[in-house]
Amino acid sequence: MKIGLRIFLGYFLIVALAAWLLARVFVAEVKPGVRQAMEDTLVDTANVLAELATDDLLAGRIADGAFARRVQALRGRDPGAEIWGFDKRAASYRIYVTDAAGRVVFDSDDGRAVGQDYSRWNDVWLTLRGRYGARSTRSDPDDPDSTVMHVAAPIRAGDRIVGVLTVAKPNRALAPFIARSQAVVQRWGWVLMGTALLIGLGMAWWLARQLGALQRYAHAVTAGERVAPPRVAGEFGELGRALETMRARLEGKQYVEQYVHGLTHEMKGPLAAIRGSAELLEQADAAAPMPAADRARFAASIRDQSERLAQMIDKLLALAAVEYRQRLEQTQLLDPAVLADEVAAQCALRLQRAGATLQLRLAPGLPQLRGDAFLLRQALGNLVDNAADFSPPGGVVELQADAAGGRLRFEVRDRGPGVPDYARARVFERFYSLPRPGGGSRSSGLGLCFVAEVAALHGGTAALREREGGGTCASLELPAA
């Protein structure tokens, strides 16, 4: 399971659990809260009505006095009220009065309980003893939603309790308000969970994107690719910069080690040739003078090998500067035709020494390219120099440029002996070189490697293939601007 999905699931589980617990608490508290509010109202109502009923109870006319008439008239009253979207068209109170013995002497519900002994009901029993009396009793024993709340208040004659007035209200009257409150809580609970889901998805996507960029960068560095540090934010940005610093330091150390090893290995051949020629020249003395031809040959060998060493060091430094760069810091728009002319001028002396000529074949209307002019001139110059080395005396080296599919393609062609099959896969390796025609010394083996590195820096490719009719075709393909 990917880390982004794990983060999302963990986050959503926590938020969903919190939302579920919160909703359960709210839903569980709605019904008791509403009933507590109703009980508080019933307490006030019972005490007010107890004061109003006191005179009629003491006078013995509680069943047919003014209090009884007014309470009975309540049943025909239409409140005409609208409470938060619910119509209230009739009073839902039941009021009954008991005497000091707990026997019902007045009942607003058509007097159905008059004469009954209510002294054992909590509301009456507790109130007659000077305590707060209340109860909630089912009107239908088989229906849990049929509960009725009863709240009582004492009727006093001085300090003596002479009766009890109870106000009863069915809890079912509050059911619409409770159901609506619970629905609102549940609805917002789902909104909270949906919002948490969206936020969790966003967070998980962002974290996965940041970590994925760092992961791809690490894999690319491991594979030896040229990649820039990912653009990530916050602590991820600091981690990316730390990885880039670590990569640069490790690669720098390994790079130096590899180059020192490669350079020392490649320098052994020329140094051995120089040392051998020098020893032979030193051994010649007046008694046994060395023939002039041999002396000239050994001196030429020393000069050639010294030039080879100097060339190797120069190209190695140029290659090192290119290989160590991860990207081009400064680029400019370049005209391929101008670039080809500059390469031709740069290689003119080298071609003259090799006895070869250069022909430019440039397609009309070539698109511009964006890159480093110096590196591209060096790369194309290496291809031309390489072709000149392998061209026969009086041969022609062709530098061609054309464009197709948003790509610009330079090709350098010669009519030399071509590249053997066994060497074709290795020609771009560092220090790999082939013997020159006519017994010429090998090159440094760094030119084509330099070309490949420059191509990669510009987002292009370098290739070498056999030319139809004999010879070699080296290509440098780059993206057009």
Mean predicted confidence (pLDDT) in 89-101: 88
Are residues 293 and 367 located together in one domain of the fold?
A: no
Higher model confidence: residue 298 or residue 188? 188
Higher model confidence: residue 52 or residue 229? 52
pLDDT band of residue 405 (cuts 50, 70, 90) is: confident
Q: Quick: pLDDT tens for 142-189.
A: 888 788 999 999 999 988 999 999 999 988 877 777 777 777 777 877
- 112 assigned to some structural domain: yes
- 305 assigned to some structural domain: yes
Higher model confidence: residue 100 or residue 263? 100
| Model pLDDT, residue 443 | 61
Q: At what angle do helices 66-74 and 3-59 cross, to 10 degrees?
A: 150
- β-bridge mates for residue 20, sequence order: none
Write the DSSP symbol of residue 63.
T
Question: Could you tell me which residues come within 8 angstroms of residue 261 by beta carbon, excluding any fewer than 6 positions away?
Answer: none
Of 226-230, 256-260, 311-315, where does the model show the most confidence?
A: 226-230
Question: Could you tell me which residues come within 8 angstroms of residue 292 by beta carbon, excluding any fewer than 6 positions away?
Answer: none
Question: 309 burial class (0-12, 13-18, 19+ CB within 10 angstroms)?
Answer: middle
Distance, in Å, from the CA atom of 349 to the CA atom of 225, rounded to the nearest integer, reads: 36
Are residues 27 and 137 located together in one domain of the fold?
A: yes
Question: Could you tell me which residues come within 8 angstroms of residue 92 by beta carbon, excluding any fewer than 6 positions away?
Answer: 169, 170, 173
- 425 assigned to some structural domain: yes
Mean predicted confidence (pLDDT) in 193-220: 77
Write the DSSP symbol of residue 410.
E
Q: Kindly report which listed range (181-185, 267-271, 409-413) carries the lowest average pLDDT score.
A: 267-271
Higher model confidence: residue 195 or residue 51? 51
- 28 assigned to some structural domain: yes
Tokens 């020629």 locate to 277
pLDDT band of residue 53 (cuts 50, 70, 90) is: very high
Are residues 157 and 269 located together in one domain of the fold?
A: no
Question: Could you tell me which residues come within 8 angstroms of residue 366 by beta carbon, excluding any fewer than 6 positions away?
Answer: 335, 336, 337, 401, 402, 403, 408
Would you call 433 helix, strand, or coil by DSSP? coil
Q: What is the CATH number of the domain that holds 46?
A: 3.30.450.20
Of 66-80, 92-106, 215-229, 443-457, where does the model show the most confidence?
A: 92-106
Q: Kindly report which listed range (147-161, 218-232, 334-348, 361-375) carries the lowest average pLDDT score.
A: 218-232
- Helix extents (H) in 284-335: 292-323
- 216 assigned to some structural domain: no
pLDDT cut 90: percent of the chain above it: 20
Q: How many CA atoms lie within 13 A of 102 on its CB side?
A: 14
Q: What is the CATH number of the domain that holds 280?
A: 1.10.287.130
End residue of a domain, out of 158, 179, 200: 179
Distance, in Å, from the CA atom of 6 to the CA atom of 22, rounded to the nearest integer, reads: 24
User: Do residues 472 and 414 lie in contact, with contact meaning Cβ atoms separated by under 8 Å?
Assistant: yes
- β-bridge mates for residue 157, sequence order: 160
Are residues 285 and 337 located together in one domain of the fold?
A: no
Are residues 305 and 163 located together in one domain of the fold?
A: no
> Is the pLDDT reported for residue 240 higher than 70?
no
Are residues 242 and 161 located together in one domain of the fold?
A: no
Are residues 412 and 292 located together in one domain of the fold?
A: no
- β-bridge mates for residue 156, sequence order: 161
Q: Domain range for residue 451?
A: 332-479
pLDDT cut 70: percent of the chain above it: 72
End residue of a domain, out of 260, 292, 326: 326
| Model pLDDT, residue 286 | 52
| Model pLDDT, residue 237 | 67
- 206 assigned to some structural domain: no
Mean predicted confidence (pLDDT) in 387-412: 88
> Is the pLDDT reported for residue 454 higher than 50?
yes
Higher model confidence: residue 2 or residue 338? 338
| Model pLDDT, residue 255 | 46
Higher model confidence: residue 357 or residue 301? 357
> Is the pLDDT reported for residue 251 higher than 60?
no
Q: Kindly report which listed range (14-23, 115-124, 406-415, 446-455) carries the lowest average pLDDT score.
A: 14-23
Distance, in Å, from the CA atom of 428 to the CA atom of 425, rounded to the nearest integer, reads: 8
Question: Could you tell me which residues come within 8 angstroms of residue 91 by beta carbon, excluding any fewer than 6 positions away?
Answer: 74, 75, 77, 79
> Helix and strand tally (H, E) in the chain?
10, 14
Of 132-141, 157-166, 279-288, where does the model show the most confidence?
A: 157-166
Are residues 26 and 155 located together in one domain of the fold?
A: yes
Q: What is the CATH number of the domain that holds 383?
A: 3.30.565.10
Locate 293 and state its tokens: 């031809």
Distance, in Å, from the CA atom of 213 to the CA atom of 218, rounded to the nearest integer, reads: 9
Q: At what angle do helices 292-323 and 234-283 cross, to 10 degrees?
A: 180
| Model pLDDT, residue 253 | 47
| DSSP conformation letters of 170-194 | EGGGGHHHHHHHHHHHHHHHHHHHH
pLDDT band of residue 305 (cuts 50, 70, 90) is: low
Average pLDDT score, the chain: 78
| Model pLDDT, residue 438 | 57
| Model pLDDT, residue 209 | 78
Would you call 252 helix, strand, or coil by DSSP? helix
Are residues 360 and 397 located together in one domain of the fold?
A: yes
| Model pLDDT, residue 262 | 52
| Model pLDDT, residue 451 | 83
pLDDT band of residue 131 (cuts 50, 70, 90) is: very high
Are residues 27 and 166 located together in one domain of the fold?
A: yes
| Model pLDDT, residue 162 | 93
- 212 assigned to some structural domain: no
- 8 assigned to some structural domain: yes
- What's the structural domain count of the chain? 3
| Model pLDDT, residue 49 | 94
**Chain centroid, CA 214 distance in Å:** 10
Are residues 123 and 50 located together in one domain of the fold?
A: yes
- β-bridge mates for residue 362, sequence order: 401
Are residues 111 and 78 located together in one domain of the fold?
A: yes
> Is the pLDDT reported for residue 215 higher than 50?
yes
Q: Kindly report which listed range (28-42, 266-280, 465-479) carries the lowest average pLDDT score.
A: 266-280
CA angle 325, 331, 333 (to 5 degrees): 150
| Model pLDDT, residue 263 | 52
| Model pLDDT, residue 84 | 59
End residue of a domain, out of 151, 179, 207: 179
